[in-house]
Amino acid sequence: MDQRPVQELNFRTHDGVDLFYRRWPAVDAPRGAIVMFHRGHEHSGRMAHLPDELDLPQFDFYAWDARGHGRSPGARGDSPSFAASVRDVQTFVDHIGARHGFAPEQIGVLAQSVGAVLISTWVHDYAPNIRCMVLASPAFKVKLYVPFARPGLALLYKLRGNFFVNSYVKAKFLTHDTARQASFDSDPLITRAISARILLALYDNAERVVADAAAIVVPTQLLVSGADWVVHLKPQQEFLQRLGAMTKEIHVLPGFYHDTLGERDRITAVAKARAFVLRMFAQPLERPDLTRAHQSGYTRDEAERLAQPLPALSPRGLYWAATRAAMRAGGALSEGVKLGHATGFDSGSTLDYVYRNEAHGAGPLGRMVDRNYLDSIGWRGIRQRKLHLEQLLQRALARAETDGLPLRVLDIAAGHGRYVLEALGGASVRPQSILLRDYSDINVGAGRALIAAKGLSDIARFERADAFDAASIAAVTPRPSIGIVSGLYELFADNDMVARSLGGLALAILPGGYLIYTGQPWHPQLELIARALTSHRGGAAWVMRRRTQAEMDQLVAAAGFEKLEQRIDEWGIFTVSLARRKS
């Protein structure tokens, strides 16, 4: 078999860093692309045998050197964060589309070990419309042979900051292929070190993705090494069992070491991957319909469990009763907790307080309690969401200006409007008009005061309106070029309500205009929120039904919008997306 010619290229990722990648163009007329992601410590050259061995002449192949690996820049084995590397994946796929012409629906992914965790996280958090993915020995749980290694690493990281540890794995425990062993040992681009920051985040994200694998709906094949010295089998099995994809399969390869796609007898694994890819590309893009997920589905079941009261004298019932009592006591000291009890922890007033991020309370103790409250992971994520909203609003303004659209902004549930007004205050492009709306009289009054304080009364106004009244939204004049709905749909479980609201936005926004929308596909404190915090709806318990990113994107697409970009915080909690209204 003749080796395919290879091109050595670079792409600029989201923070301006140029990453290296290889491209093997299709031999025949291309029908798709396979994008490959290497193991930890390695680089794209370690997968260079696969374009020939997979024998898919109608497919382009791509493989990057991850940030901090191979010929890509950065400290060896490091990244600014695991989330930054996940976003690198999205930027790479965007680049392949822009430069080489492959839409996500024409892309299959092949990823191994740490690369497979990266891809699983990307598919969970960004919900790309790729055709399929093959995951080889995903490193959902690395075998650490030193007792208490993980808590020890976490403690040292907290005390010292970032540092590096070297891999203990020898080539002879990765593959039986002696040529691969020798090339691993002699390869100067192999990165033995990995930063503690990335190793700890790898564990955290792997656990999150395995636990919430039902959110992943991309057709998936798992290739598992049966004699793996490096990673555990059980999380791989749990991942497949929970996976939400309509097509999913697992193949355990007896005797294989960790380098599944570089093993001596890899012809078996390669043949299974090839057959799976061909099968998935021979049929239309496969996705379950998630627009009825409020009627049946795992997030509905989860929300119903959280809404059920616990037996008062059970251990969990007593625990959450004590937590509620502690929150009431906290309200006597902390201004933020007091405000949450008064207006709802999901209210616009609470949101504005979290945005301002200034601790207030009764004396030093009250301010300490309030600071602890404001620094909870959920509120940190909310403030990051605000920054992402500001970024995408500025990008939407720039796009609309380039498109020749009038710069008119509509936010249908603005709260106090702080994030919109502050984003527009820092924008290089000034909109012609800003219409903020909210259902709460408190929010409308506070928003009008904020407009005056920001000196924007000449272009901004605030009115009371229902964000689920499609006719009212559709009747907005003049028609906006940019619509925003932030933090609203997350509070309402019913997709029919969301679809009605999105339908109104689709009628209101000019053709070719833009929609910015938020999501909350995951939250580490769902039970705390449901059992200890109250909502703005008459002080009822704040029980949320999560929407996966795939579900939220389907609702937006059904309303006539095409998703363009997305941001997500480093914990995987809050997303902000930018979509264009189809003409």
Residue 160 falls within a domain, yes or no?
A: yes
CA distance 323 to 374: 17
Residue 526 falls within a domain, yes or no?
A: yes
Contact 495, 291 (CB under 8 A): yes
CA distance 67 to 55: 28
Radius of gyration of the chain (CA): 25
Tell me phi and psi for residue 359, to 5 degrees. -75, 130
pLDDT of residue 472: 98
In this structure, are 196 and 325 located in the same domain?
no
In this structure, are 373 and 473 located in the same domain?
no
In this structure, are 359 and 397 located in the same domain?
no
478: preceding bond cis by omega (within 30 degrees): yes
CA distance 400 to 404: 6
Last residue of a domain, one of 377, 400, 426: 377
**Bridge partner residues of 462 (DSSP):** 436
Residue 305 falls within a domain, yes or no?
A: no
CA distance 520 to 388: 14
In this structure, are 399 and 357 located in the same domain?
no
Last residue of a domain, one of 377, 408, 433: 377
In this structure, are 373 and 462 located in the same domain?
no
**Bridge partner residues of 107 (DSSP):** 33
Contact 285, 131 (CB under 8 A): yes
Residue 349 falls within a domain, yes or no?
A: yes
pLDDT of residue 189: 97
In this structure, are 373 and 459 located in the same domain?
no
Last residue of a domain, one of 258, 281, 304: 281
Task: Compute how many other C-beta atoms are within 10 angstroms of the C-beta atom of residue 486.
Answer: 24
pLDDT of residue 284: 97
CA distance 311 to 145: 42
Strand, helix or coil for residue 102:
coil
Tell me phi and psi for residue 323, to 5 degrees. -65, -40
pLDDT of residue 162: 96
Residue 523 backbone class (left: φ over 0; alpha: ψ -120 to 50; beta: rest): beta
In this structure, are 151 and 202 located in the same domain?
yes
CA distance 533 to 328: 10
In this structure, are 325 and 445 located in the same domain?
no
Which CATH number is 392's domain given? 3.40.50.150
**Bridge partner residues of 37 (DSSP):** 111
In this structure, are 369 and 473 located in the same domain?
no
Which CATH number is 189's domain given? 3.40.50.1820
What residue numbers bound the domain in which 494 lies?
381-581
pLDDT in tens, the chain (583 residues): 578 999 999 999 999 999 999 999 999 888 999 999 999 999 999 999 999 999 999 999 999 999 999 999 999 999 999 999 999 999 999 999 999 999 999 999 999 999 999 999 999 999 999 999 999 999 999 998 777 789 999 999 999 999 999 988 899 999 999 999 999 999 999 999 999 999 999 999 999 999 999 999 999 999 999 999 999 999 999 999 999 999 999 999 999 999 999 999 999 999 999 999 999 999 999 999 999 999 999 999 999 999 999 999 999 999 999 999 999 999 999 999 999 999 999 998 999 899 999 999 999 999 999 999 999 999 999 999 999 999 999 999 999 999 999 999 999 999 999 989 988 877 778 899 999 999 999 999 999 999 999 999 999 999 999 999 999 999 999 999 999 999 999 999 999 999 999 999 999 999 999 999 999 999 999 999 999 999 988 888 999 999 999 999 999 999 999 999 999 999 999 999 999 999 8
pLDDT of residue 537: 84
Burial of 344 from C-beta contacts in 10 A (0-12 / 13-18 / 19+)? buried
Residue 122 falls within a domain, yes or no?
A: yes
In this structure, are 371 and 392 located in the same domain?
no
Contact 358, 330 (CB under 8 A): no
Count up the domains in the chain and report the number: 3
CA distance 480 to 514: 9
- C-alpha distances (whole Å) from 388 to each of 115, 124, 378 are 26, 19, 15
Residue 2 falls within a domain, yes or no?
A: no
pLDDT of residue 1: 57
Tell me how far the alpha carbon of residue 393 is from its chain's centroid. 19
CA distance 485 to 468: 11
Strand stretches in 192-340, DSSP E: 193-195, 220-225, 248-253
In this structure, are 345 and 442 located in the same domain?
no
Residue 281 backbone class (left: φ over 0; alpha: ψ -120 to 50; beta: rest): alpha
Residue 299 falls within a domain, yes or no?
A: no
CA distance 371 to 364: 10
Residue 510 falls within a domain, yes or no?
A: yes
In this structure, are 138 and 211 located in the same domain?
yes
